[in-house]
Amino acid sequence: MKKIYFAVLILICFNMYSQTKKDTIIEFDEVIINENRLSTPISKQNRNVYVINSETIKKLPGKTLQEVLQYANGVDIRQRGPFGGQVDISVDGGSFEQTVVLLNGAKIIDSQTAHNMLNLPLPVEAIERIEVLRGPAARIFGINSLTGAINIVTKKPKDSGVLVSTYAGSNFEKDTQDTGDTFYAGGVQVGAVLGKEKQQHSIFASHDKSNGYRYNTGFENNKILYQGNVQINDSNEILGAVGYVNNDFGANGFYAAPGDKNSTEIVQTTFANIQSKHHITERWKIMPRVTYRYNYDDYRYLGDNNLKVGRSQHYTNSIAAELNSSIKTEKGEIGFGAEFRNENIHSSNIGDHDRDNVGLYAEYRTYLFEKLNVNLGTYLNYNSDYKWQIYPGLDASYELTNSLKIVGNLGTSQRIPSFTDLYLNQRPGNIGNPDLTSENAFQSEIGFKYTKKALNLNVNYFYREINNYIDWTRMVTTVPWQSQNYGDLITNGINMRGTYRIDLSKDSKLSFYLGYSYLDSRFKDTRPEPYSKYLISSLKHQITNTIDYQHKDFSVLLATRFNERVTGASYWINDFRISQGLKKFTVFVDAQNIFNTTYYEVGAFPLPARWFSAGVKFVTF
């Protein structure tokens, strides 16, 4: 069946050759999507890629990366902690372990558990854009990109200056179970950037603190991030980043409700990356990269008052080295690369484990005809636990008119079980399964992109089959949860999104964004239905909508989210931000969940009710 899909797509591409040829002119603010080896203007992209730019990020009513991603089409954010404290992220109905996150192309993989993957020292002010790539992407990004990839691209400052910002907020409710204090949250952030012709540097530090929004959900979060770029000459550039985050929070109901009412957790993450770009010749460039990530996770089931019982400590290290290259030819562009990755863990209830991963990439992009663009590639992987596997993929697009393009892709990918999946021993609550096999996915997708003046529209349909799907299940409530290769999961999905901008006057504009996703998931074989930790809460319908009005330095953005999951009540969440620029100052007011909706994303505890906050930023760059 998979071979038939590849053959059909290739046949369609060749049949399109008979279409009338016309010059292509696309009116679009070009963004270059960097896929490690090949760089592609978004207007020429063959994949379903959704970009959140810095202007949109600045206007959204969110102060963290996690909150910004709530408004991304097809992205499922399941929060445990408030305001981005701890978040699971997935794309198009996959599990939170099946989406890979990247920072400037460097993979952020937490081999202990993906619960900690977004524990990053990254302020939203440092983000240039967020690229959401849908569908299996092994031939581009390697392991764990089973259902998609999210690449966070940071800013390269052009000017020098400083940033000082602060905010405070509350729901004006009291902690009646403990202190009687009113719930609040507040924070301060400072930063400095140096923007020169041949070098750019930036450093950001922040402190956020809250007593939560219900009993034992308070947090204290400290972050620091440095980034540097040095252009040695026109052919050679070095980029580096190092960051640290310490996140200490109350974990009431996070993993084992209701017994974990007094649980606390500390997660500390250190991230470092250095990479460079070298144009060996006009047509040939190489891009080496080395990445290191350390994560410490200290979970205290009975809280801080009893550390001798129910405490889990995990120390995880991962180091990765990559070498990517591309060569331009008369007919197209060839990309190839290699990577090595070592992961190890020392843990009180997972044990001591170590594994290696080696990957080889090969890609080729060409215009078979004037309007037919094709990307073909494969990823060859060796893992010390799962041995050799190969994952090919094919993307193609055809420009029917100056404004309309048909896109299609076929892809395969994998997800290697985390150390928690394999070896966790938290009896009587959760136990791992060392006999798990890796998950493998095949996906086909077809859709179209329409761009004309102020209107941009994307519509896509996909079919995906995940073999050996891993979930934590049990048949009766008297036995522990255990990770299992439960079966083959079939998903049919539709996602649509569109933007439209109206220029009301020289200084005023009104912008609309609307996104919709539909997912229908089922297992191939009929079997007794178990209790499930994660599949049972996957999305079925999702709507994301923003309405943005801007007049000079004044803006109002209203954001709406609708989620309907496989089980549980559906819910609408409405947020807004009002902001006013006053020379180098920006004053903003946020209101989140303005209609006070009660809703749940993980477990049986509600997320924050209506919350108001206000802040001010002073920026000189």
* Mean per-residue pLDDT pooled into runs of 10, the chain (621 residues): 39 38 38 74 78 92 91 90 79 91 92 91 92 90 92 92 96 91 96 95 96 93 96 95 96 84 95 96 96 96 86 96 95 95 96 97 91 94 95 94 94 95 89 96 96 93 95 88 92 96 94 96 78 79 96 96 89 96 95 93 82 96 89
pLDDT tens, 171-214? 999 999 889 999 999 999 999 999 999 999 999 999 999 999 99
Predicted confidence at residue 3, as pLDDT, reads 41
Res 14: pLDDT: 39
Owner of token pair 């599949």: 535
Residues 6+ apart with CB under 8 A from 521: 93, 489, 490, 491, 535, 538, 566
Instruction: Give pLDDT, residue 536.
Output: 66
Model pTM score: 0.90
What would you report as the CA-atom Rg of the chain, rounded to the nearest whole angstrom? 24
**Predicted pLDDT of residue 571:** 94
Peptide bond just before 258 cis, omega within 30 deg: yes
- Would you list the DSSP string of 453-475? TTEEEEEEEEEEEEEEEEEEEES
* pLDDT value at residue 201: 96
Q: How far is the CA of 508 from the CAs of 56, 290, 528, 581, in angstroms?
A: 16, 45, 58, 14
Q: Which fold has domain 2-619?
A: Maltoporin; Chain A (2.40.170)
Burial 446-475 (b: 16+ CB within 10 A, else e): bbbbebeeeebbbbbebebbbbbbbbbbbe
Find, among 407, 416, 469, 413, the residue nearest to 443 by Cα.
Answer: 413
- Burial code of 518-545, b = ≥16 C-beta within 10 A, e = fewer? bbebeeeeeeeebebbbbebbbbebebb
Which pLDDT score is estimated for 43? 67
Query: What does the pLDDT read at residue 348?
Result: 95
pLDDT at residue 407 in the model: 95
CB 446 within 8 A of CB 461: yes
Nearest alpha-carbon partner for 449 in 22, 152, 26: 26
Which one, of 214, 265, 118, lies nearest residue 608 by Cα?
Answer: 214
The letter for the amino acid at 574 is N
- For residue 18, give every residue at least 6 positions away whose Cβ sits within 8 Å of its Cβ, in sequence order, or none: none
Total count of residues recorded for the chain:
621
The reported pLDDT for the residue numbered 308 is 83
Strands (E), 23-121: 32-35, 38-41, 49-53, 75-79, 87-91, 99-103, 106-108
Kindly list the domain boundaries of the chain, sorted by start residue.
2-619
**Which of 155, 182, 156 lies closest to 171 in space, CA to CA?**
182
Residue 395: name the closest of 414, 376, 415, 422 by CA. 376
Q: How many angstroms separate the CA atoms of 130 and 53, rounded?
A: 7
What 8-state DSSP symbol labels residue 603?
Answer: T
Per DSSP, the residues of 263-285 read -EEEEEEEEEEEEEEEESSSSEE
Spatial CB neighbours of 94, under 8 Å, sequence gap ≥ 6:
146, 147, 148, 466
